[in-house]
Structure 1
Amino acid sequence: MLKGILTIISIFFFQLVFFTQSATLTGTVRNDKGYYVSDANVSIANTKKGTTTDEKGRFSLEVPAGEQLKVVVSSAEYDTHTEFVTLEEGSTEDLIVILMTRMLRPFDATAKDPGTSGMNYYKPVGAQNIPTPIPNIESQLRFSQVGVTQNNELSAGYNVRGGNFDENLIYLNGIEIYRPFLARSGQQEGMSFINPYMVDNILFSAGGFDARYGDKLSSVLDVSYKDPREFAATTVASFLGANVFVQDKPSVRLNYLLGARYQTNAYLFGALDTKGDYKPAFLDLQGMVNYHINENTRLTLFGTYADNKYRIVPENRETNWGSINEALRFTVYYEGQEVTQFRTAMGAASIENRPNDHLKLYFTTSMFRTVESENFDILGEYRLDELERDIGSDDFGEVAYTRGVGGFLEHARNDLDAFVANGYHRGVLDWGEDHKNRLQWGVKYQHEITNDKISEWYMLDSARFNAPHPSDSVGYVDPSAQPYQELHLSYSLKSSNSVSSNRVTGFIQNRKGWEIKTKRQFADSLIDGDSTIVWVDTTFETSQYVNATIGVRAHYWDFNDQTVISPRASINYRPALFFNHNNEMYRRNVTFRFATGFYYQPPFYREIRNLNGEINPEIRAQQSIHFVFGTDYTFFMWDRRFKFTGEAYYKHLSDIIPYEIDNVRIRYYGENNAKGYATGLDFKLNGQFVKGIESYASLSFLRTQEDILDDFYYNYYNSDDELIVPGYTVNNTPVDSERIEPGYIPRPTDQFLNFSLFFQDKMPEEWNTAKIKWSTFKVNLNLMFGSRLPYGPPGDARYNDTIRGTFFRRVDIGFSKDIIGSMTDRTKFSEKSILNHIDKMWVSLEVFNLLDIENTTNYNWITDVSGRRYSIPNTLTTRRINLKLVIQF
């Protein structure tokens, strides 16, 4: 018996050794850069068969034939590659394996935590795809976010829910950034600090943001640059300048970003009212390097330098405005020039450490320097004419008569040098079951130095009254017998200030999430397979989700020895709501949220300097209490995903510092002598109105007012009981007066209605033919509408700034055609041609201000011989056509 068993076992092993079917598996392993990978492990899953690659990435392995094999290729620096093969007996299979470089740890810039306070995550539209005169991220906020307004295509400035641009926090990779201090017009401002071609994603909140963000009254924009995982490059050239962007990851530890921008807007400025020799030159260089010291630690270095130079020799200007009842023309001839230069530099270093999967520690230091100068002497000789209004007249639209002539002289020698240095630590700890709790903390020290010298004045001679000497002094030889000679300036400011101060800030906040189990009953009539209506009534278990964040931050500034404490809290709730669609039950993707808190804004340099250039050492932080209720609803329409966002808000403002806005320059009164409020509704809808491409629409309603606590004025009446208005009333002798306390007046940003639309379209693929790929034709439309903003005559009487300007209306459109893309037949390119390395190339024809509407940015004021004042609108650019070439590698 035993002998028989041994015989059978011997035969079995004999067959296993001599008759097993086999094949040979060979291959080459490369990485995603095309280099050979040596010493990579190649194994067959669930077997003991395996080998390693040689110095040329080659391997050879004998494997079983006739069965499916799972081939696993792995190496320490790359993602594991898996492939399934089946080989025939005696055959040889040659594999080509590409291993993708992996991160040591998932340091992913896109993995931001939006929290619970309505921080909106946004993947920006490529700047090269948006028809706008000056590409920047800020111009995308007006349509992609709620509550954002922008009324100047030449500026990167934006307002949020009734606040000015200084009330917005802007972070780049966690570092707060600033814009030039002296800029008084969009023409001077140059390019935005943020390079839009380097941006990966942004987080934005229009109010009610968490305590981890800093101390400003209105909003926060948190921008992250790309974290490269492969080589890519983009170059853009147009009539307005050129941009180059390069990224790469030369090794598993190292990656980098480089960006260069040059813009010359002389062609664009030629569409302004003021004609002349424009010579702007705006240059910006930026670079970022990430180096993984080890698996848990990453070092990031960032640097930028910008030189924005603006020069103009104005020649003349002609502005027509008014109405059918009073058509006017303002003509000016200039002498002189303006030269403005803003040079900024910034450097930062950051270390991110992850001791374990629950804890992240960040240590950052940065330095910012801006050196700014503004110099001009401009003489203007002007004439104010009334135009012929009779349509039947041969001279319709021509000068009927002259209302006045005059001149003005503008002078400035302004210099500013500011330096900001800081050190910052932030920590993030995920704890609790499934990491539903997130604790964050941070502390920051900042030192600021500002040296500012201002010498500017403006003289207006509305009726040629100013003379070099009194007429009755001609020929006098005795100086004591001559009357005192003086020129009266309409405006003058001369000051020299130096301010050095320190700030210490800190915060702590915790977010907690709850999953609430609940039961829902679903009852509805359904249609079964034979079209019979069936009543279904069922109960099932589901979950509701609640997340709450509570935090507090503190800010101490030694300039005024003030400490402010800002508690903030928010909650969002995702209910269990379901609906029936095509006999299937779906959960509604809807979220409700509420946020509130105290938001202080300790002054920066501009807020502490009043209209006379004097520094107020008693200045205090402005305060705003936010109440924000919002909802997000994601739904499907036309089998495509859409998202609706709506928010209602109220902001109570106290200790406000009143200000005026002249073009883009904000001039503060330097005192906390106002209170106010802002309230409104914001709506946004985005989705694929055209399949495969995203479009956005936003609508906002706003009302913001302030009450300056110590302002008043007098109305004077003549003997005819008429209100005396210089230039209009004949009897200007007062016999009675009335004290008026204005109360609440519109804030400078009180714009009741705003609508923005960014719409993308392309030709359908069904139209493609063998010769013409119609789907490579695309169009992008950018539309903006804003209601009238308040303004008033020059001076520090804010209660006069209640006149309403004109509507803001603008349409920009771009038409593009792919030259090289996914549908290109690359076989027609030679092997050595550079065209083989181009991923995509297209050309765009852009029409700025398609409807050629003259939008007003601010007003000049003149007075005629009768004392009547006129506001002359300064308009933005008219229609311009731009040609742009984009190449992506």
Structure 2
Amino acid sequence: MKTKLLIFSLFFWNLYNGVAQTATIKGIILDENNLPVEQVSIKSGTQGTISNTNGFYSLTININEDVLVEFTHLAFKKISSTFNLKNGEIFEFNPVMSTSLEQIAAVVVTSNRRKDIEGIITIKPETIRKIPGANAGVENLLMTLPGVSNNNELSTQYSVRGGNYDENLVYVNDIEVYRPFLIRSGQQEGLSFVNSNLVQNVDFSAGGFQAKYGDKLSSVLDITYKTPYQFEVNADLSLLGGSLSVENISKDSKFTSIIGLRYRDNSLLVDAKETETNVKPTFADAQAFLTYKFTDKFHLSFLGNASINKYNFEPQSRQTNFGTLADPIALLVFYEGQEKDEYQTYFGAFKGSYFANDDLTLKLIASTYHTTEEEYFDILAQYRLGEVNSNIGDENLGEVEFSEGVGSQLNHGRNDLDALITNIEHKGDLRIEDNHIEWSIKYTHEDIRDRLVEWETIDSAGFSIRPPKTVANEQPYTPFSGPLEPYQNIRATNSTQINRLQAYAQWSKRSTIGNSDVWYNAGGRIHSWSVSGDGISGSNQIVFSPRAQFTIKPNWEKDMLFRVATGLYYQPPFYRELRDASGTIQPDVKAQKSLHVVLGNDYSFKMWERPFKLTTELYYKGITDVNPYTLENVRIRYAANNNAEAYAYGLDMRLNGEFVPGTESWFSFGYLKNEENIDNRGYIARPTDQRLKFAALFQDYVPNVPNMKVYLNLVYNTGLPGGSPSYADPYDYQNRLPDYKRADLGLQFVVVDDKKQFDRGWRKPFKALSFGFEIYNMFDAQNSITNTWVRDVYSKRQYAIPNYLTPRVFNVKTSMRF
């Protein structure tokens, strides 16, 4: 009890203690696949309730008498149980509902099948917490899915089916969340918004999603946080930091809370890179999800987050060897200066849910997101490019002996951004027999203040290199009298306000065609926005996005499901899409428009007497009013016009199942072709044209040591079109970076778990305890994210020197639950 009180005081919360002449039954209702079951009717005489989307329920019953409680759902067999409780007693009862073969075909579908119908991939939270990765979490697991790519293990951002990092929706408990604006490289990112220890459900759609999801072109990540049903503490510690979460429920089950703290220090990863540095990248955040149940009909919840990311970077030196065995070349760089970045983010959202009856639910959501970001750097890099001593046995082996090029580069930046985003939204959910109707109306105000100051000068062999495509320089034949100027120079100050009004309505229905089950979904979104600010006079714009899905399950001996989804998807510009390469706001940028067509098939079968599923999807996206962009590391810079068109098509396949009994593993394959046509100059590869992708997530255990678990995360992506200078004309340079290859291995020794509990000794307090060892980039593959371009003063050539990502890194961790 003392431990509980100490934790409560640390997190500043108070338990709600009610005194009543009743008892309470509470718990979580699961199906045979260990997934929550919602809309279960729980009744005892005249009293009753229903389970929520997380399967949680709480029912008050009479005391000191036998009380029959019935759990009923049209898709499952009824469960009946008798309870006799004392005054104030709280009894935890977690029933597992089994499918009734006689009922399931004639009534409704299970939660598993419902996700399949919508083309949504569901990921188990326990898998997220176990799989190793330099940036472990939800996004780390997404990289193993077909169609999802990221060639940077230090970043949590991802590209889906040819889209960029700004084209993905992320929701937590119906609330849209945002990412920082100014991030330039993955090692500055820090923590993802999603705290894995708080997660209950993870749903992901890579395209063709329903109208209830927002206006983006690529994907939806829909996260649901836990609703606690008991007191529990989870803690994780590793060389990269740690996390702590506490969840509890009040004695009358009306108030629940889950609070999480995280701290991360990326020094282990950044120090392993080839650039020698004094670096201190630290990131921390605190999150809370609180729910109070005023009545069975009205619940109020709060989701809050506060995070601070600090990145202090002082590079010292770097040597990169490249070339061939016959002609080895090296770039040796000495640095002066430093970079100091800080990002502070605060987010809060209230959601009120009113359950009018079993068929009607109304919600009101209000949220505010505030971020202040500072990015300051002055870094001088002096380099030597030359031949490397390759004589084995020589004391100077590996050193640069003959310099072919010398020069220096000075980068300066003073970037500040302050953004305040406020939302208010009403959502409704109505069921009329087999018809399901959902709707929403949402208002958003975005207030962004931005100062951008960046310049760069380059000097090679004593000559200041001028910016490309400037006035002709015919030295030494004609004297050049032009003024000196920075190689790149961006200066802008913007104060921008964007007002948005969005609404959607959609209808779903289950029916039959002959002996086959079919599901229909149709809906549309409307989005109106205007841009204003200092010196800005933009016009109002409006778009309408119709979407539809059709799914059929034939009455075949084999379990097959076929889906088709189509629609017009618009992406009205966010602030970053309005800012051109010079930092100027272009308020009349149009929404990019994409026609989605997705054909999908799920084949569920048994192999080795265990369940498996093969999912196949063919997709096509035709995109118009394209806003071209360049991609450098994770920073996106838009042209802020709509002078291009593009397309993407491909094939995604995923086989998942119990390759090892009791565990889920999968193998993924993806093929993509993604091209754009700028100003009718012809089609070329887009910056995210990731042609081939193979990935595998495998879970196993050591046969002779069943408590030793093994987790393997494999990713192979073909190279992106990022191997050209940032100033180059993309039609002249279509070089690609090398293929991305990575394998992360995790070993976990389980001391305590749900099946292995102890009544005495030092292990008694633990509900779960494990110790682990992880190897990131197990085969030490040299992956690169960009190239540094250096001139050879003798041959007048430019060399592409790769900027490598992290090498092999070792980590140890421990996880525990009380």
TM bucket, shorter chain: 0.7 to 0.9
Tell me which residue corresponds to 2:697: 758
The answer on whether the counterparts of 1:547 and 1:572 sit within 8 Å (CA) in structure 2 is yes
1:277-334 CA-partner distances (Å, limit 9, x unpaired): 1111101100010111111111011110000000011111111123345432111111
Q: Distance in 2 between matches of 1:628 and 1:241?
A: 41
CA contact (8 A) 1:440 1:509 kept: yes
Q: Which residue of 2 aligns with 1:178?
A: 178
Residue of structure 2 aligned with 1:780, choices 711, 716, 722: 711
How far residue 796 of structure 1 moved from its aligned partner, in angstroms, is 5.9
**8 Å Cα contact 2:309-2:342 kept in structure 1:** yes
User: Identity over the aligned pairs, expressed in percent?
Assistant: 40
Report the AA paired with residue 678 of structure 2.
Answer: I
> Does structure 1 residue 746 correspond to structure 2 residue 725?
no
| Counterpart for residue 404 of structure 2 | 403
- 2:485 corresponds to which of 484, 488, 491: 488
Look up the SS of the partner of 1:607 in the other structure: helix
Instruction: Identify the match of residue 864 of structure 1 among 779, 792, 795.
Output: 792
- Cα 1:667–1:801 change in 2 (3 A) is farther
Deviation track 1:821-880 (CA, whole Å, cap 9, x = no partner) reads 356573541xxx6x4221111100101111111110112222222432122211111111
Q: Which shows bigger deviation, 543-552 or 651-660? A: 543-552
The CA deviation at 1:41 is 12
Change (3 A) 1:485 1:567: closer
Counting only pairs closer than 5 Å after superposition, residues 391-540 of structure 1 correspond to structure 2 as 397-399=398-400, 401-432=402-433, 436-466=434-464, 486-517=483-514
Contact residue 39 and residue 75 of structure 1 kept, 8 A: no
What residue number does 1:382 align with? 383
CA RMSD of aligned residues (A): 2.9
Question: How has the CA–CA distance of structure 1 residues 115 and 852 changed in structure 2, closer, same or farther, with 3 Å as cutoff?
Answer: closer
Q: 1: distance between equivalents of 2:676 and 2:618?
A: 20
Structure 1 unmatched runs, 5+: 1-32, 43-56, 62-70, 85-93, 104-108, 468-482, 518-542, 579-587, 711-740, 768-773
| Residues 61-106 of structure 1: per-residue CA shift (max 9 Å, x gap) | 9xxxxxxxxx647799xx985279xxxxxxxxx9xx9722799xxx
**3-state SS in 1 of match to 2:268:** helix
User: Are 1:551 and 2:523 counterparts?
Assistant: yes
Q: Any conservation in 2 of the 1:211–1:552 contact (CA below 8 Å)?
A: yes
User: Offset of 1:197 from its aligned partner?
Assistant: 1.2
SS at match of 2:187: helix
Q: Distance in 2 between matches of 1:571 and 1:485?
A: 65
> Against the structure 1 CA distance between its residues 635 and 675, is the aligned structure 2 distance closer, same or farther, given a 3 Å change threshold?
same
Cα pair distance change 1:275/1:58, threshold 3 Å: same
| Matched residue type, 1:873 | P
Q: Evaluate the alpha carbon distance shift between residue 58 and residue 373 of structure 1 in structure 2; reply closer, same or farther with a 3 A threshold.
A: closer
Cα distance in 1 for partners of 2:508, 2:740 equals 41
Separation in 1 of the partners of 2:24 and 2:746? 52
- Quick one: structure 1 residues 215 and 882, their matched pair in 2 at CA, closer, same or farther if it must change by over 3 Å? same
Give the corresponding residue for 1:253: 254
The alpha-carbon distance between structure 1 residues 442 and 98, as it changes in their structure 2 partners (threshold 3 A), is closer
Cα 1:110–1:190 shift into 2, 3 Å = farther
Counterpart Cα distance in 2 of 1:871 and 1:271: 22
| Alignment-derived partner of residue 622 in structure 2 | 652
1:617 CA drift (Å): 2.0
> Which residue in the other structure is 1:240 paired with?
240
Question: Shift in Å at residue 488 of structure 1?
Answer: 3.2
State the secondary structure of the residue aligned to 1:689. coil
Counterpart residue type for residue 200 of structure 2: D
- 1:744 corresponds to which letter in structure 2? Y
In the alignment, the residues of structure 2 paired with residue 496 and residue 443 of structure 1 have an alpha-carbon distance, to the nearest angstrom, of 33
Distance 1:828 1:511 in 2: 54
Q: What corresponds to 2:103 in structure 1?
A: none
Q: What stretches of structure 2 of length at least 5 have no aligned partner?
A: 1-15, 26-61, 72-78, 96-109, 466-479, 532-538
Distance apart, 1:173 and its partner CA: 0.9
What is the CA-CA distance between 1:146 and the residue it aligns to? 3.1
Letter in 1 for 2:646: G
TM-score, normalised on structure 2?
Answer: 0.83
Question: Given that residues 526 and 544 in structure 2 are in contact (C-alpha distance below 8 angstroms), is that contact kept between their aligned partners in structure 1?
Answer: yes
Match of 1:566 among 545, 549, 556: 545
Distance in 2 (CA, whole Å) between partners of 1:134 and 1:172 is 19
Q: Is contact 2:23-2:90 (8 Å) kept?
A: no
Look up the SS of the partner of 2:731 in the other structure: helix
| 1:665-693 CA-partner distances (Å, limit 9, x unpaired) | 01111110000100000001111111111
Q: Deviations over 1:634-692 (max 9, x none)?
A: 11111111111100011001000000110010111111000010000000111111111
Q: Output the CA distance in 2 between the equivalents of 1:641 and 1:75.
A: 31
One of 802, 806, 809 as aligned partner of 2:738: 806
| Matched AA of 1:645 | T
Distance 2:172 2:23 in 1: 39
For the residue of structure 1 that corresponds to 2:143, the secondary structure is: helix
Deviation track 1:199-237 (CA, whole Å, cap 9, x = no partner) reads: 111221111111111111111111111111112221001
Letter in 2 for 1:568: R
Amino acid at match of 2:525: R
Determine the C-alpha separation between the residues in 1 that align with 2:111 and 2:308: 31
TM-score using structure 1 length: 0.77
| Contact 1:124–1:140 (8 Å) recurs in 2 | no
With over 3 angstroms needed to count, the CA separation of the structure-2 counterparts of 1:40 and 1:349, relative to structure 1, is closer
Change (3 A) 1:181 1:83: closer
493-502 vs 386-395, greater mean Cα deviation: 386-395
Q: Contact 1:589/1:635 (CA < 8 Å) preserved in 2?
A: yes
Counterpart of 1:153?
153
C-alpha offsets along residues 173-217 of structure 1, whole Å, 9 cap, x if unaligned? 111111111000011111101111111112211111111111111
**In 1, distance between residues paired with 2:636 and 2:297?**
45
Q: Distance in 2 between matches of 1:120 and 1:39?
A: 42
Deviation at 1:34, TM superposition (A): 14
Q: Are the structure 2 counterparts of residues 776 and 102 from structure 1 closer, same or farther at C-alpha, using a change threshold of 3 Å? A: closer
Give, in whole Å, the separation in 2 of the partners of 1:807 and 1:569.
37
> Is the contact between residue 353 and residue 362 of structure 1 (CA under 8 Å) also seen in structure 2?
yes
Residue deviations 1:408-460, cap 9 Å, x none?
1111000001110011011111112xxx2111111100000111101111111
> 1:564-643 alignment to 2 at 5 Å?
564-578=543-557, 588-643=558-613
Larger deviation, residues 483-492 vs 654-663? 483-492
Q: Kindly tell me: are residues 329 and 443 of structure 1, through their superposed partners in 2, closer, same or farther at Cα, counting changes over 3 Å? A: same
Distance across 1 between alignment mates of 2:457 and 2:300: 55
Specify whether residues 38 and 429 from structure 1 end up closer, same or farther in structure 2 by C-alpha distance, changes over 3 A only.
closer
Alpha-carbon separation, structure 1, partners of 2:344 and 2:407: 37
CA distance in 2, matches of 1:254, 1:508: 32
Task: Report the Cα distance in structure 1 between the residues aligned to 2:70 and 2:90, rounded to whole angstroms.
Answer: 11
Q: Shift in Å at residue 763 of structure 1?
A: 2.5
Letter in 1 for 2:189: E
Q: CA deviation at 1:462?
A: 1.9
Counterpart CA distance in 2 for 1:152 and 1:41 is 50
What amino acid is the match of 1:760? Q
For 1:878, the equivalent position in structure 2 comes to: 807
Q: Which amino acid aligns with 2:148?
A: V
Aligned length: 719
Alignment correspondent of 2:369? 368
In the TM superposition, what whole-angstrom CA distance separates every residue of 1:511-544 from its partner, at most 9, and x where no partner exists?
A: 1211234xxxxxxxxxxxxxxxxxxxxxxxxx31
Name 2:295's counterpart in structure 1: 294
Structure 2 CA distance for aligned equivalents of residues 81 and 617 of structure 1: 63
Kept after mapping to 2: 8 A contact 1:508/1:551: yes
